[in-house]
Structure 1
Amino acid sequence: MYSPHSLFSRHPNTPKPNPSSLILPLFNQIQTQTPSPECHYNRATALATQLESCAGPSELAPIHAYVLRRHLLLAPFHWNALMRSYLRHARPLRALLLFAQMSSSGATPDSYSLPIALKAASQTFSLSSGRQLHTATVKLGLEFNEFCESGLISIYAKTGEFESALKMFDQNPQRKLGSWNAIIGGLAQGGRLAEAIDMFIKLRRASLVPDDVTMVSVASACGGLGDLNLAQQVHKCVLQAQNLGRLDVMVCNSLVDMYSKCGRTDLAYQVFRRVTPKNVATWTAMIMGLATHGKVGPALEFFKAMREEGVKPNHVTMVGVLCACAHGGRIEEGMRYLNGMAREWGVEPTVAHYGCVADMLGKVGRLAEARTVVENMPVAANAVVWGTLLGASEKHGDAEVGEWAAGKLLELEPWNDGVYVVLSNIYAGKGMWGEVERLRRLMRKRRVAKTPGYSLAAMSA
């Protein structure tokens, strides 16, 4: 049913000139000249303009130091350009610190400065920064500025302050689409999926036209709910948007992911076929969907086709690939991917990848090997990894690895009564009734409520 081949023609990547190469000559020229007062502002503006479009992350630090030393941050525009550069290169904390410098220097933030700072606070999930910025927007009379308003809603939602986000949203009846997108996206990302869908319905009733950002969030919420009927209605809305020329690859990728999560990988594939050009997210959504539903062969075929098209996998892609190997019992292939992903594609294995491998080995009873992988991985195991090993130990009756995994899991989650239950089941399955009783005493001592269950028939056997 699924064939990734012959769906598309190759699109050779034409090398583009690197615009960041333009910034250093300008920067060096400015450093070697002594600007007269009348051209000081113009040079500051020229440098800020170049920063806006050209500077790479390694170039920002010396330029930042230079403009501070030469007092070239003369107006909000100059501060904003540097803050935007930090944000563009995934340095949100530096952008926030720069905003603090701007405020302490006596410069007054404008209607562009605050949205940039709010976006930085949102990316760092800093609620305290968000509250301070909220105060600043009120003082400057910018609370109902559409970009400030959506930024505040976004940061409150992303930090779990949903009541504050909803209050911010409700207080402006003239809210723009950006605020709707912020609340819908925040609710969807925060797991309040039904509320996100309800908010989308209200948006439509308000006669507003959703954009790509809206549809990505709504598709994500539909996928999380697993509601196929709703998913198809969302797809219809997307097709209506396509007639207006507003559909992009990001939206298509979200539809692939949505249908996959609803269990309809066939519909996901239909969308996938029509995406042009396909990026790493497109391929990854399809691979993850197939792998999650146990379609091992197609998932690995898509991974092969992806590489043949010259698209490099990312860390999420490799989670999907290893998940497929785990489902299909493809141990050697999975180990080969784990050991070669950093060398071949520059993807350093994370705890998620090692967790997939532990699951892969655990499913087939190779628990000693799974333990070796977990003991030797360069990152700390999390509760998911320990829980995976514990579950595999119960399935295969391995008391030694089960004890080890249970101990590690209880260090992270001492309140988790399920750990005691599973470990007790392992002991009972091996006829280790003394250990079952010892575990019961330990639970009483630690005041763990649930009593481990075991078979009385097995005890008397």
Structure 2
Amino acid sequence: MLSKYYNRTKHLQVTCQRCKTLSSLKQIHAVTIVNGFLSDPSSLRELILASAISIPGAMHYAYKLFDQISQPDLFIWNTMIRGASCSPTPSQSVYLYVKLIRAGNRPDYLTFPFLLRACTSLSAPCTGAQFHGAIVKLGFESDMFVRNALINMHANIGDLAIANYLFNNHGRNDVVAWSAMVAGYARRGELETAQELFDEMPEKDSFAWNVMISAYAKNGEMNKSFELFNQAPWRDSVSWNAVISGYVKCGSHKKALELFDRMHQAGVRPDNVTILSLLTSCACTGSLDLGQKLHHFLLESFPRKGLPIKLGNAIIDMYSKCGYIEKALELFDKMEELDISSWNSVICGLALNGHASKSLYLFEEMLKRKVQPDKITFVGVLAACSHGGMVNKGREYFDLMQKKYHIEPYMKHYGCMVDMLGRAGFLKEAYNFVKEMKIEPNVVIWRTLLGACRMHGDVELGQIVNRELLSVKSAESGNYVLLSNIYASVGEWGGVHMMRNLMDTDGVHKEAGQTFVDGDRKDRIISNV
């Protein structure tokens, strides 16, 4: 009889360990009910362990199973606390701890590391300090796992003095404690101290290497980040992603794409974080070929279900910015779930690719579906009005943005309005609009208006705008050349000569013309003359 019980329990344990999806776990759960195994506490224990720890996104199912147990043992309590601490709602682990205490149970040394992890995720140092008090009271502070969790919590969000005390008195022989201190200082932005500790580490694990590589990358210090990356004895996907993402954020898209080639040659499979960063680079550099390859890679990675919404949005944005708007719309129509970023990608993409009417149609469709627009939506809408010459619509949407949706305009909104009014020839209105802006106009705003003056040959207003440009200390050659071209367009050659002399007097030199040839697309030539 005992042998039969042991075999049944062992079989369920192995089956649950192999379970990878919630649907398969539900099937196992159904089998245990049909065969009358659910009265056995060990059966529920294995089901809870699988849903709380092993299967991503199944924590809600673990709660349902947990509620069926009248008197859960400490193992089940700890499993639930652990699962909750790693879930999107780590505060539930604290709630479970309170229930555990109120039920008359005494926590053990396995309970607290996950509670401290939850406090770190929640940035709740006061709650973490209360748990520290309970740990001391119960005599668990000497346990290595508890001590490391305390060091990590205090170093990252709590009291650095306490973290240093625990580290210097008990943790200097433990690589996990070293890494926790390095991560704590790096997270607080104290990179010099983090680097000193990192250099002192008797043994460096992959976590410590990745912490430093990521910290420098997030701080924009890409030379240092890349130097450490090259020095690291091993590199996992976190290492590659940190440097690739860092280059993308710094605008070094070519370097990001080159590093991806190196990652591919090293045999490291990109994950979703890598793909998101690379799609951003493809969008910014117009690398359509690589963007399509990344799209095909994702389709192979998710063959049976649709792409996660973030990845779907990134692909739509990439196709839009690379000029392949038909493909972007095709993917948009196929997406099972849409959020505001999905709508923004196609509305802005259509506007920038010259499909103004279609862009505004989709905006109206979005409003009909009760999707709340944001500031990015209105950038696309106003850009569409500008490119489509729909001045009245643009004025209407600019007012709608502020009065109905309470979105305060920022520089891009103002820039779109000035461009729209300037293109349509409403130069005086555009100038008055700039003078009445709620924020100080930047160089781009004035240069946009100066370009409109050139387009319509308005010398008088062009002179006024040029003075405004000079007043914001913009002495770029393009500003002088624009005004010179305005004079030339109406045949005032004396004005042209005056601007050339003024450039010499101010020490402004016109940049030489340049031509760039895209190496991947030899038919594509971009000139700057």
TM-score category (smaller protein):
0.7 to 0.9
Q: CA deviation at 1:428?
A: 2.9
Residue 193 (structure 1) aligned with residue 253 (structure 2)? yes
Residue 320 (structure 1) aligned with residue 377 (structure 2)? no
Residue 399 (structure 1) aligned with residue 459 (structure 2)? yes
Q: For the structure 1 residues 265 and 359, does the alpha-carbon distance in structure 2 shift closer, same or farther, using more than 3 Å as the test?
A: same
Report the residue type matching 2:194 in the other structure. Answer: L
Counterpart of 1:287 in structure 2 is: 347
User: Contact 1:147–1:178 at 8 Å: present in 2 too?
Assistant: no
Q: CA deviation at 1:427?
A: 2.4
Equivalent residues in 2 for 1:424-443, closer than 5 Å: 424-443=484-503
Distance, in Å, in 2 between the alignment partners of 1:76 and 1:410 is 59
| Among 235, 240, 246, the residue aligned to 1:180 | 240
Counterpart of 2:196 in structure 1 is: 135
User: Contact 2:347–2:360 at 8 Å: present in 1 too?
Assistant: yes
What is the aligned residue count? 396
User: Contact 2:151–2:163 at 8 Å: present in 1 too?
Assistant: no
Equivalent residues in 2 for 1:44-55, closer than 5 Å: none
Q: CA deviation at 1:364?
A: 0.6
| SS of residue matched to 2:179 | coil
Counterpart of 2:286 in structure 1 is: 226
1:363-388 deviations in Å (ceiling 9; x for gaps): 11111111122111111222221221
| Among 510, 518, 529, the residue aligned to 1:450 | 510
1:234-266 deviations in Å (ceiling 9; x for gaps): 111111221487942111111001111111111
User: Contact 2:119–2:127 at 8 Å: present in 1 too?
Assistant: no
| Among 155, 179, 190, the residue aligned to 1:111 | 179
Mark the runs of 5 or more structure 1 residues left unpaired by the alignment. 1-18, 27-37, 85-94, 122-128, 453-461
Q: For the structure 1 residues 136 and 66, does the alpha-carbon distance in structure 2 shift closer, same or farther, using more than 3 Å as the test?
A: closer
Q: CA deviation at 1:133?
A: 2.7
User: Contact 1:48–1:82 at 8 Å: present in 2 too?
Assistant: no
| Among 359, 383, 389, the residue aligned to 1:299 | 359
User: Contact 1:224–1:261 at 8 Å: present in 2 too?
Assistant: yes
Q: CA deviation at 1:52?
A: 5.7
User: Contact 1:212–1:247 at 8 Å: present in 2 too?
Assistant: no
Residue 310 (structure 1) aligned with residue 370 (structure 2)? yes
1:80-119 deviations in Å (ceiling 9; x for gaps): 66887xxxxxxxxxx6xx6766667776776356446545
Residue 409 (structure 1) aligned with residue 477 (structure 2)? no
Distance, in Å, in 1 between the alignment partners of 2:231 and 2:446 is 46
User: Contact 1:260–1:268 at 8 Å: present in 2 too?
Assistant: yes
Q: CA deviation at 1:203?
A: 2.1
1:292-343 deviations in Å (ceiling 9; x for gaps): 1111111112222222333222222221111111111122222222223244
Report the residue type matching 1:134 in the other structure. Answer: Q
Distance, in Å, in 1 between the alignment partners of 2:447 and 2:162 is 48
Worse-superposed segment, 434-443 or 260-269:
434-443
- Greater Rg by CA: 2
Report the residue type matching 1:133 in the other structure. Answer: A
Counterpart of 2:316 in structure 1 is: 256
| SS of residue matched to 2:431 | helix
1:39-84 deviations in Å (ceiling 9; x for gaps): 9x999999967756778xxxx7xx859969x999997746866887
1:180-218 deviations in Å (ceiling 9; x for gaps): 111122223333323322322322232322211111111
Report the residue type matching 2:195 in the other structure. Answer: H
| Among 423, 428, 434, the residue aligned to 1:363 | 423
Worse-superposed segment, 315-324 or 130-139:
130-139
Distance, in Å, in 1 between the alignment partners of 2:396 and 2:154 is 44
Distance, in Å, in 2 between the alignment partners of 1:245 and 1:288 is 27
Counterpart of 1:168 in structure 2 is: 228
Q: For the structure 1 residues 47 and 336, does the alpha-carbon distance in structure 2 shift closer, same or farther, using more than 3 Å as the test?
A: farther
Counterpart of 1:270 in structure 2 is: 330
Counterpart of 1:389 in structure 2 is: 449
Counterpart of 2:268 in structure 1 is: 208
Q: For the structure 1 residues 451 and 230, does the alpha-carbon distance in structure 2 shift closer, same or farther, using more than 3 Å as the test?
A: closer
Q: For the structure 1 residues 437 and 385, does the alpha-carbon distance in structure 2 shift closer, same or farther, using more than 3 Å as the test?
A: same
Q: For the structure 1 residues 24 and 77, does the alpha-carbon distance in structure 2 shift closer, same or farther, using more than 3 Å as the test?
A: closer
User: Contact 1:393–1:426 at 8 Å: present in 2 too?
Assistant: yes
Distance, in Å, in 2 between the alignment partners of 1:79 and 1:305 is 53
User: Contact 1:44–1:72 at 8 Å: present in 2 too?
Assistant: no
Q: For the structure 1 residues 313 and 352, does the alpha-carbon distance in structure 2 shift closer, same or farther, using more than 3 Å as the test?
A: same
Per chain length, whose mean CA-contact separation is higher, i.e. which structure has more relative contact order (CA < 8 Å, sep 6+)?
Answer: 1
Report the residue type matching 2:294 in the other structure. Answer: V
Counterpart of 1:458 in structure 2 is: none
Distance, in Å, in 2 between the alignment partners of 1:407 and 1:132 is 49
Report the residue type matching 2:262 in the other structure. Answer: K
Q: For the structure 1 residues 399 and 82, does the alpha-carbon distance in structure 2 shift closer, same or farther, using more than 3 Å as the test?
A: farther
Q: For the structure 1 residues 135 and 345, does the alpha-carbon distance in structure 2 shift closer, same or farther, using more than 3 Å as the test?
A: farther
Q: CA RMSD in A?
A: 4.0
Give TM-score scaled by structure 1 length: 0.73
Q: CA deviation at 1:225?
A: 2.4
User: Contact 1:212–1:246 at 8 Å: present in 2 too?
Assistant: no
| SS of residue matched to 1:294 | coil
| SS of residue matched to 2:404 | helix
Distance, in Å, in 1 between the alignment partners of 2:292 and 2:303 is 17
Q: For the structure 1 residues 256 and 163, does the alpha-carbon distance in structure 2 shift closer, same or farther, using more than 3 Å as the test?
A: same
User: Contact 2:209–2:232 at 8 Å: present in 1 too?
Assistant: no
Counterpart of 1:149 in structure 2 is: 209
Report the residue type matching 1:111 in the other structure. Answer: S
Equivalent residues in 2 for 1:67-106, closer than 5 Å: 77=149
Counterpart of 1:126 in structure 2 is: none
